[in-house]
Structure 1
Amino acid sequence: MHVEPQVFDVLLYLVQNRDRVVSKPELLEAVWGSRYVSDSALTSRLKVARRAVGDDGRRQQLITTVHGVGYRFAADVTESGPPAPDQQPVRHRTAQQIRYCRSPDDVRIAYATSGVGPPLVKAANWLTHVDLEWDSPIWAHWIEELSSAHQLIRYDERGCGLSDWDVREFSLDAWVEDLEMVVDAVGLERFPLLGISQGGAVAVSYAVRHPTKVSRLVLAGAYARGRLARAATPSEREEADLDLRVGRIAWERDDPGYRQVFAAQFLPEAPREAWDDFNRLQRATTSTANIARFLDAFARIDVSDIARNVACPTLILHARRDRRVPMAQALELAALIPGSELRLLDTGNHIVTRFEPAWSDLVEQLNDFLLADGS
């Protein structure tokens, strides 16, 4: 079984120190150094390490958990070469490869792969950029975590990032077709699919169109109906329409004040620096004209009729105090998708940040769900 570098480093460190119990802080320091990672990140690597050596969390014949203390490699080890020098394992940073494919309507779509392991596909969401996200404080921890035990495939939707910006059609059908094209380009047969925010509707549509391809579906901060689509009363429609018109004008005028308000909707419980990072990323991802088109198209999304046809196991993760996509949307998705599991995260941030407790919770829920059947 081929394992990704961090899993190997965890296993190697435990084998090298098999004569004693290794504490959790020591193992985190040995593999990740001064870089902050959550306890659940270590837990997920240990799960994969156990699978790699034919162990599991219940039997623990090789890698044992000493509760309240740490972990120990308990099997006999025979060294066939000279003793290894007393050194910590080499730390690796996941690399990514960026490639292109071209849609039937001649739109060039950029996609990136990172990590090693079973595939995990992420549907594109609001203003992606596969290159700039790599080092962005907003998305880097997502990419690192999702690539830790999987080959992560993500892409820039038409109109933004490294994909073509000058495109004729912005629609749910076009976005689903772009996802289909990326999946075909990578050559995937069956895989779990992640949809974040508006990407959730794209993921739902794809899962319904291709039930034999999607093994598991994860929806984070997602919704079935956009703001205009779910407006049920004249006042709600007026409010939704006003929000769109203000957004169009503000983005076209490159209004910094509005951008701060917009960022605050996505990251209300994050520090001000996160708002600035979010705004810088948005401005670099696409044109102001395209942002207005995205806002309009996203507001009209409606997959409520087809969500009932999702046939795969589905996990719904949502911030309790989400201002951009209210929790009611998660409740609606959970009611629509048969057998789906809903897990609420204790945060108000639409995009969960690295340094908040909700991130550890999200990672643990996600990994447990994906590893339930070896996805």
Structure 2
Amino acid sequence: MYRFEDFVLDTDRHELRRAGSLVGVEPQVFSVLQYLLEHPDRVARKEDLLAAVWGTTFISDAALATRIKEARRALADDGRAQRLIRTVHRVGYRFVGTLRTDRGVETEAPTPSRSGQVRFCRSADGVSIAMATTGDGPPFVKAANWLTHLEYDEQSPVWRHLIRELSRDHTLVRYDERGCGLSDRELDDESFGLEAWVRDLETVVDGLNLERFPLLGISQGGAVAVAYAVAHPERVSHLVLHGAYARGRIYRGAGQEELNQALVALTSHGWGEADSAHAQVFAARLIPRGTPEQVRWLVDLQRISASRQNAVLFRRAFGQLNVEALLPRVVTPTLVLHSRRDQAPPFEEGRRLAAGIPGARLVPLDTDNHLVLEDEPAWPHMLAEIREFVGLEAGALATR
């Protein structure tokens, strides 16, 4: 039995009631509602809904959309408000209300955040890029990296602390890279690569009329940030690189190209599946010390943020990145942060990155996690280094 607002979905009696009164719903609509309520912690992909409700019977996307519309109508919701049933573009649907169990315990489903206004700009090759700003003050730009979704990141235990703290004294500018999140996803293979990613960053900066700002690059976003800083030194006041690398996996020595091919194969077969080998490897490389909740969010973000096809294209393109020739041309003051026991990429790649940039400072972080989490000692260390580097007083650091 599921309770939310003044509704009760009774799965034993197969009834939907509102304030004690029966609400008439067709059996398939009831099954759709039941499936969404059974999985409030994740997006229900269209194919999952179709399999759960209709089995092997072929049902078109239009028919599913009609059942979702009827389910919303039964809940006094609609496609515009999406108060209880949220559409996740090109992925599926999610229940975003607050569930109450028979014991009175409330479980609030993760919902898209509305604190950052999402806008769109169009790159030179016609790709629509979603961007958002949060906070007040001078701009701080974060180059896009893999696995983001502007509507969900502010609630994610993997990303929310970074967004919150960098928005305290700055207007933090974020965007979903092409093929990911709310940006255009239907792209050709040539749309995945360094040149296109730098062009998207240029489009966002120009679209917001930004003149000069610190630039943050995380993971493969570091290579994009380096290339942008070389092309536009007059605009980048500080360059912050975290968990970044200058050379993709295929350039790192014997066996690495084969490992990259194995990771591509894992991605192709297990993307977005919580029990797959890919999900286990992915979480173990990015947040090996993550809690079950953090790991669940990270795996869920796979389904929300990108299709399996695009994930494979991303993985291949990351392995082929190489900006080592650009490193000596960086004239922007640079801070390189890298986890000591990072495996994606290893600490040596961060050391090489710092060694190649004139005057760059390397700060090792005492953690196993590639993405530094809020509940570990490395997080306040990392944040204090960033704030001091870009000119903010350490005393402004939020107390944990």
TM-score, with structure 2 as normaliser: 0.67
- Take 1:259 and 1:356, find their aligned partners in 2: how far apart are those partners? 22
- Whether 1:135 and 2:155 are equivalent positions in the alignment is yes
- CA contact 2:337–2:364 (8 Å) conserved in 1: yes
Deviation at 1:252, TM superposition (A): 8.5
**Shift of residue 210 of structure 1?**
0.4
Instruction: Determine the C-alpha separation between the residues in 1 that align with 2:266 and 2:290.
Output: 24
Counterpart contact for 1:252–1:289, Cα < 8 Å: no
Once the 2 structures are TM-superposed, how far is the Cα of residue 283 of structure 1 from its aligned partner?
Answer: 1.3
- 1:196 lines up with 2:218 in the alignment: yes
Partner in structure 2 of residue 231 of structure 1 = 252
Instruction: Note the alpha carbon deviations across 1:184-236, whole angstroms, 9 max, x for none.
Output: 001011111000001000000000000111011000000001111x2323x33
Q: How many angstroms apart in 2 are the aligned matches of 1:360 and 1:269?
A: 17
Per-residue deviation at 1:104?
Answer: 1.7
Equivalent residue runs for 1:1-375 within 5 Å = 95-168=115-188, 169-228=191-250, 230-233=251-254, 235-251=255-271, 256-371=276-391
Identity %: 49
- Would you say how many aligned residue pairs link Structure 1 and Structure 2? 279
**For 2:146 and 2:356, how far apart are their aligned partners in 1?**
23
TM-score by length of structure 1 reads 0.72
Q: Please state how far the C-alpha of 1:237 moved relative to its aligned partner.
A: 2.7
Report how far residue 241 of structure 1 moved: 2.5
Partner AA of 2:317 in structure 1? A
Q: Residues 243 and 192 from structure 1, CA distance in 2 versus in 1: closer, same or farther, beyond 3 angstroms? A: same
| Cα separation, 2, equivalents of 1:367 and 1:95 | 23
Larger RCO (CA under 8 A, 6+ residues apart): 1
- What SS is found at the alignment partner of 2:342? coil
Aligned partners of 2:174, 2:272: CA distance in 1, in Å?
Answer: 28
Q: 1:254: how far off?
A: 7.8
Distance, in Å, in 2 between the alignment partners of 1:215 and 1:300 is 28
- Is 1:94–1:115's contact at 8 Å kept on the other side of the alignment? no
Contact 1:95 1:115 in 2 (8 A): no
Counterpart code for 2:242? A
Aligned-residue CA RMSD (Å): 1.8
Residues 94, 115 of structure 1: alpha-carbon distance in 2 compared, 3 angstrom cutoff: farther
Q: Distance in 2 between matches of 1:94 and 1:363?
A: 25
Q: 1:306 is paired with a residue of what secondary structure? A: helix
**Kept in 1: contact 2:220–2:244 (CA 8 A):** yes
**Conserved in 1, the CA contact under 8 Å of 2:274 and 2:299?**
no
Cα deviation 1:229-279 (Å, max 9, x = unaligned) = x2323x333333233233323338886332122111100112222111110
Distance between the aligned counterparts of 2:306 and 2:266, measured in 1?
Answer: 19
Could you report, residue by residue, the CA deviation over 1:346-373 in whole angstroms, capped at 9, with x for unpaired residues?
A: 1011111111111010110010001169
Flag structure 2 segments of 5+ consecutive residues without an equivalent.
1-112, 394-400
Instruction: Give the 4+ runs in structure 1 shifted more than 4 A.
Output: 252-255
CA distance in 2, matches of 1:331, 1:94: 38
- 1:231, 1:240 within 8 Å by CA — same for their partners in 2? no
CA–CA separation in structure 1 for the residues paired with 2:287 and 2:147: 15
Deviation at residue 286 of structure 1 after TM alignment = 1.1
C-alpha separation between the residues in 1 aligned to 2:237 and 2:355? 20
Quote the Cα distance in structure 1 between the aligned partners of 2:169 and 2:193: 32
Displacement of 1:134 in angstroms is: 1.6
Displacement of 1:281 after TM fit? 1.3
1:259-307 residue CA offsets vs partner (Å, 9 max, x unmatched): 1221111001122221111101121001111000100001110000111
Distance (Å, rounded) in 1 between the aligned partners of 2:260 and 2:151: 33
Deviation at 1:333, TM superposition (A): 0.4
Specify whether residues 113 and 183 from structure 1 end up closer, same or farther in structure 2 by C-alpha distance, changes over 3 A only.
same
**Separation in 1 of the partners of 2:274 and 2:375?**
30
